Amino acid sequence: MRKNILITGASSGLGEEMARQFAAKGRNLALCARRVERLDALRDELVRNHPGISVVTRALDVNDHDAVFATFTELRDELGTLDRVIVNAGLGKGARIGTGRFDANKQTALTNFVAGLAQCEAAVTLFREANAGHLVVVSSVSALRGLPGSMTVYAATKAGIAALAEGIRSDLLGSPIKVTTMFPGYIRSEMNERVAQRVRFIVDTEPGVRAMVAAIEREPAEAVVPTWPWRAIAPAIRHLPLRVVRKLG
């Protein structure tokens, strides 16, 4: 059992709900996000509802790459080990390419991919030292094809982070270190509430994250969740005409 779990982007959305569901399973948690007051409120809630667990928090902007390495190490030292790291922090902002919003698209690219790389590097460094661990990278079904409008850069970054995770998995084949890439369908969160386009097939946060947590616990190489409709849709997305795929964005 992976007893000590670190989750980035844990102050809201999928990260916050993953923290609640793993706490209910009796896991110790290291929670990171920029909004430390929300993290601390979540910590107080979790230890009140599950008094047998330890929950530690740190303010962390994942775009401060030096801080990512230092914070992961500090949290490992505080809990004794880190058995699982969930690279979850990300941005969903963006704009149609060529409409003068390079600033928003650049911020999403840096946060979702470059900062994701920093988190993977920091986690795998600690796992190599321990010769054990489980890296979980949260991608998206958006990664399966290019999408239009405000989703274009987001989808591209999620494809990039998925390829990064697969490369890490390949490098670690045969070792005790496991790597899982999560491809969630559209799960309701603060992030996608700000996306300009209407989101199809969206599910509520709690059941969507329940499917994610169940898949993470199985530690597969890849998982598309929730099962319906995304496991049925995902294989077709690669081969459908682009005019059809663009309607899924």
Domains of the chain and CATH, by start: 4-248 (3.40.50.720)
- By the 8 A CB rule, do 57 and 31 touch? yes
> Is pLDDT at 193 greater than 70 in this prediction?
no
* CA 225, 230, 235, 237 torsion-angle sign: negative
- State the pLDDT at residue 196: 43
More reliable by pLDDT, 197 or 170: 170
Pairing, β 177-184 against β 133-138 = parallel
- CB-CB contact of 134 with 219 (8 Å): yes
Kindly calculate the radius of gyration of the chain based on its CA atoms and give it in whole angstroms.
17
Mean pLDDT of the chain: 92
How many CA atoms lie within 13 Å of 51's alpha carbon, on the beta-carbon side?
A: 1
pLDDT value of position 53: 97
Mean pLDDT of 130-142: 96
Please state, in angstroms and as integers, the Cα–Cα distance from residue 90 to each residue in 7, 45, 99, 153, 221, following that order: 12, 24, 22, 12, 21
The pLDDT tens digits for 144-179 are 988 899 999 999 999 999 999 999 999 999 999 999
Catalytic residue among 127, 154, 183, 230: 154
pLDDT at site 54: 97
Q: What is the pLDDT of residues 33-67, one digit of tens each?
A: 999 999 999 999 999 999 999 999 999 999 999 99
- Indicate whether 88 pLDDT > 50: yes
At position 160, the amino acid (one-letter code) is G
DSSP string, 114-168: IHHHHHHHHHHHHHHHHT-EEEEEE--GGGGS---GGGHHHHHHHHHHHHHHHHH
The pLDDT of residue 197 is: 46
Q: Which pLDDT band holds residue 200 (cuts at 50, 70, 90)?
A: low
Give the tens place of pLDDT for each residue, 2-32.
Answer: 999 999 999 999 999 999 999 999 999 999 9
| Whole-angstrom distance, CA of residue 13 vs CA of residue 91 | 11
Q: Is 186 annotated in the active site?
A: no
